[in-house]
Chains A and B, each alone.
Chain A
Amino acid sequence: MSELKIKVNQLTRVEGHGNIHLEATDGKLDRVLWEVTESPRFFEWMLKGRNYDDVSTISSRICGICSISHTTASLQATESAFGIKLTEQAWLLRKLLYDAEMLESHVLHVLFLIAPDFLGADSVIPLVATHGDIIVMAVRLKKLAYNLAEVLAGRKTHPITPIVGGWSKLPDVDELKAIRERLEKAMEDMDTMVAVVKSVAPMIPDFQRPTEYIALKDPKEYSFITGKIASSDGGTFDLVDYKQITNEFCVPHSSSKFAKHSRDSYMVGALSRFNLNSEQLLPRAKKAAKELGMKAPIHNPFFISVAQTVETVHAMEDAINIIDKLLARGLHEEEVKVKPRAGRGVGIVEAPRGLLIHDYTYDEAGNIVSANCIIPTGQNHLSIQKDFDALAPTILEKPEDEIRHTLEMLVRAYDPCISCSVH
């Protein structure tokens, strides 16, 4: 009897703590488990009693990687509860800041965390010697995204200026112009990034598992922070009805809750967005998708990072367009008036790794009575597990190292924010 046991403790090159266990006997899979061991932090309880003015500051600390997403979802939940409508200028700035989030997070994931898997390295560090030009470009792109966020929000991690109803400080016009020039130049880097991803695409494991794909959908644009919830299985849902989709439940081996809708799992994130909304990509991003051979629907989860690459181009293009709009209309100081009222508000955005939900109930003084946060990675955990179940039996005859590496790559493909999913 031959026994195979694979145990990956604290998977590397992902955000947060997760383990992989595989056991097989005589070439037959006994079990394969995706286990989340991250410490719970209880943000939903921390938010109780907090005044709206501190809420997005606290809730952005759920995640250091996608803190702009948490800030945005949080602000939109509070604005919805208070019945606040943003001005056009405030919307443009919020969308521009969001492009910085997508750009930074996707570049980090594709070029720093995923690339070593395809280039045979344990991290990005040895790649400095072997693929210096690409790493220099990756550092440059990440810095650009960070600087764009800095100009708008004071900093990228845990932004400062976005507030309920608008902005505490407007960006400097000259700095915006300077960033625009760097973005235009960086479009050339996008050609390189697409070429790099295309060159490794043949190494992407050939694995198909169709599932349900869920993302925001907006008739007007490739949606990041607007629209309704849509499913590839059909139907759209109002934001306040998100629980019809998420149906959270607990499992003993995970400190993150899992989620489930119409099938045995659903996926959120770049590939879901691509599958649902690819027709709305901006022209250069569409061209990049074509170059990369991407045509919706794609049922291979390893292609999430390819979809992220397409979205990187989209975010950069969108950022340039928004800066042009802002510069053409001029930036104007706008007084932000907030009148709290009792009630519930739901804010839903597309974090880089998928649907992110903040749901708050306020009292009449503007203090939180109860809060619920649902994180994209929490929704993807079951999809990761179901992919494991389908993928593992097909690779059991391979060498142990290769099985381990393939399972690790699968989790990484999802770009999981594990500590975020536990919050």
Chain B
Amino acid sequence: MKPKVAFFDFTSCEGCQLDALNLDVGEVLGLLGAVDIVNFREVKTDRSDDYDIAFIEGSITKESEIPRIQAIRAQAKVLVALGACACTGGVNCMKNAYPMEDLLKGVYGECAEYYNTIPARPVSAVVPVDAYIRGCPPTTAEFVNVVKSLLLGKRPDLPNYPVCTECRIAGNVCVFQRGGTCIGPVTRGGCEALCVSSGRFCWGCRGLVDDPNTNSEKDILARYGLTIDQILERFKIYNSYSEVSKCQS
């Protein structure tokens, strides 16, 4: 019996679902041979509520999304958070800096009363999550790796070292040495430092490593004449929800 897989989208740009499936022909056929995709609103009309593995995209930003994610959790044997919005709350949590009423009035004006919103939160803040596929968006390779692990009944082995490790392997000049600021020293790797290798810097989309070396980060900031506030502004783009961000703001 092939495992039944479902994809669900909550508040997000829906890029992760489509990016995860940006597979080559062989990979597509391989995936379809290994699992039954039973629920995937963005590409499929028929739906079934009988599934084993649920991939969740997006964060929770409406009251009505809470019972929905709870019902999915109750059904799924394995629940996977897919992408930054699901894993850390992602960019959606930037709105949490404002009173919800101000947001509604600011964007919808007199019609604010038609709509509702609650502070955005990652999926794990509402229900237990079994596995995380991080990034904004995650890489297709990582998605495939996680699927393979889950099908083998293994816990996915994902990097828990900072982006700097991969950045060095990629042979990049350190962003700080180029005069910029970078969240790479405290951000979980696995992206092969794609943004820095593309001439930019790390925005921290994969969230913090489990045990960030904050002292070392402070040393780096001091060495390059930066304050914690300067780096925190950028850090908050993806990690507004995290405790680190809360205690600093």
Contacts and interface: CB of A to CB of B under 8 A. Distances in A.
Most A CB contacts (10 A, CB to CB) among B9, B12, B44, B197 go to B44
Interface string A31-74: 00000000111101110000100100110011111010000000
A62 B22 contact: no
Which range contains the number of A residues in contact with the other chain? 35 or more
Contact of A140 (B9, B25, B45, B61): B25
Given A42-B103, A113-B43, A123-B45, A128 B32 contact: yes
A291 B166 CA distance: 51
Interface in A241-264: 250, 252, 255, 257
Interface in B22-59: 22-25, 28-29, 32, 37, 40-47
A139 B62 CA distance: 35
A136 B194 contact: no
Contacts of B14: 15-16, 63-65, 419
Nearest to A11: B41
Interface residues of B, number: 59
B155 interface: no
Contacts, number: 160
B124 interface: no
Contacts of A19: none
A7 interface: no
A113 B40 CA distance: 12
A158 B15 contact: yes
Given A16-B14, A158-B136, A252-B114, A45 B203 contact: no
A161 interface: yes
B2 interface: no
A168 interface: yes
B150 interface: no
A63 B115 CA distance: 21
Given A65-B18, A157-B15, A46 B43 contact: no
Contacts of B92: 41
Interface in A61-106: 61-65, 67
Interface string B212-234: 00000000000000000000011
Interface of B: 9-19, 22-25, 28-29, 32, 37, 40-47, 61-62, 65, 90-92, 94-95, 98, 103-104, 106-111, 114-115, 117, 136-137, 194-195, 197-200, 203, 233-234, 237
